Amino acid sequence: MFPAAEGVAPAVTAVFTTVLTEGPISRVALARRLGLSSAAVTKAARPLIEAGYLEELAATERTGPGAGRPASPLAIRADREFFVGVKITGDELIGVVCDLRAQVRASAHRRLDAADVDHVLTQLGELVGDLLDGPGDYRARTRWLGLAVSGDVDHSTGLVRYSPFLRWHDVALAERAEKTTGLTVTVENDVKALTTAEQWFGEGVGADSFALVTVGAGIGCGLVVNGRIVSGAHGVAGEIGHISFDVNGPDCHCGSRGCVEAVAGADAIVSQARAVSGRPSLTFSDAVSLARSGDAAVGAVFARAGTAIGAGIAAVANLVGPARIVVSGEGLSAYDLFEPHIRASFQRQAFGAAAECPLSIRPLPFEEWARGAAAVSIKALVAS
């Protein structure tokens, strides 16, 4: 399988991971970066090159003084292997094929008529078939399938303990999906999957700690601290949506009041917008249009939501002090309406140097969720 599979040589994994995340890099630079001797890097790189996972690039133009043998950087051979990632929602499957660098090569989706496990698996099997047997001829070079599900997921066993949106309890999803597809399956919580993608292939690269905040139906948060994802001892972590920033705020379905989600969740925004506009059938995109066309009352709803999100982000910054924070999600398709209020609120409530934490605020293509699932399976390959 993977060159380091049996007898796991730490250096092999370290070298591969570093080349994967920090791009073409010479052996000497790797040695410095990893605290290894250059001899160790040479030895670790060889099986990876022989197995086709790495390749040597032509010497690049020199930097520094000018004398000396030029480096021949190691790079990932992105098309050595492909990975399928699928995000499972209550009414849809979104699937992608990614290469080793987590670049999306193909995508497809399927509507779900029901969320029962059998139906989902049937559709999943067909979706994977469409992706792998369609143009691109990925089938032969694909062994892994990553699934992303919202809710409480045990990544190590592939068990979905409880997923409220899907109404699943204790579903052995990895096992069943392996039977259906013949691929090796990883299952992960959707926010954690997205966080993994960001950690290895996005803005989290090189950062020892960072936070990813997702804004959509719910407000979630994936956390990386000391280079590792935070899971929560009781299965709860990153519940930024249920931090209360206003003791007198509106009731939240969780039983508390003034939660971020009760003000900034998609449902909350729609119902507030309906109330202030007097239009009971208004949708989220109607609200966005109204706000953009200058409706002050609806604009204030978005402002209030942005302020709440900023408060939640400030709490993250004050508590764990991530190196950077990415704010993303479907809700941020209207990010122009949120952004200034998120930033202002964050600056107001971040304590001292925490206010220096860079925020990236950007919308999130829905495919990203599926890409996150694929990223988890890439990580699983490396660990295998």
Binding site for DNA (CB under 7 A): 7-12, 26-29, 35-40, 42-45, 59, 62, 64-73
Core vs surface per residue 83-99: b (16+ CB within 10 A) or e: bbbbbbbeeebbbbbbb
- CB closer to DNA out of 59 and 275: 59
Count of Cβ atoms closer than 10 Å to residue 33 Cβ? 14
> What CA–CA distances, in Å, run from 20 to 40, 52, 125, 210, 311?
18, 14, 29, 19, 35
> Of a copy of itself, DNA, none, which one does residue 5 interact with (CB within 5 to 8 Å by kind)?
none
> Of DNA, a copy of itself, none, which one does residue 140 interact with (CB within 5 to 8 Å by kind)?
none
Shortest distance in whole angstroms from residue 4 CB to a copy of itself: 18
Shortest distance in whole angstroms from residue 224 CB to DNA: 24
- CB closer to a copy of itself out of 116 and 251: 251
Which of these, 183, 227, 109, 141, lies nearest to 377 by C-alpha position? Answer: 183
DSSP one-letter string for 107-124: EEEEE-S---HHHHHHHH
- CB closer to a copy of itself out of 95 and 241: 241
Shortest distance in whole angstroms from residue 196 CB to a copy of itself: 15
- The answer to whether the Cα torsion of 118, 124, 126, 132 is positive or negative is negative
> Of DNA, a copy of itself, none, which one does residue 71 interact with (CB within 5 to 8 Å by kind)?
DNA
Which of these, 313, 309, 340, lies nearest to 210 by C-alpha position? Answer: 313
- CB closer to a copy of itself out of 69 and 234: 234
> Of DNA, a copy of itself, none, which one does residue 10 interact with (CB within 5 to 8 Å by kind)?
DNA
> Of DNA, a copy of itself, none, which one does residue 70 interact with (CB within 5 to 8 Å by kind)?
DNA
Q: Phi/psi at 160 (nearest 5 deg)?
A: -90, 105
Cα separation, 2 vs 7, whole angstroms: 11
- CB closer to DNA out of 75 and 237: 75
- CB closer to a copy of itself out of 42 and 318: 318
Q: Which residues bind a copy of itself (CB under 8 A)?
A: 207-209, 221, 223, 225-226, 228, 230-240, 242-249, 254-256, 311, 314-324, 348-349, 351-354, 356-357
- CB closer to a copy of itself out of 171 and 229: 229
> Of a copy of itself, DNA, none, which one does residue 278 interact with (CB within 5 to 8 Å by kind)?
none
Shortest distance in whole angstroms from residue 163 CB to a copy of itself: 13
CB 30 within 8 A of CB 19: yes
> Of a copy of itself, DNA, none, which one does residue 301 interact with (CB within 5 to 8 Å by kind)?
none
Determine which helix (DSSP H) or strand (DSSP E) holds 38, and give its type and residue range: helix 38-50
CB 30 within 8 A of CB 63: no
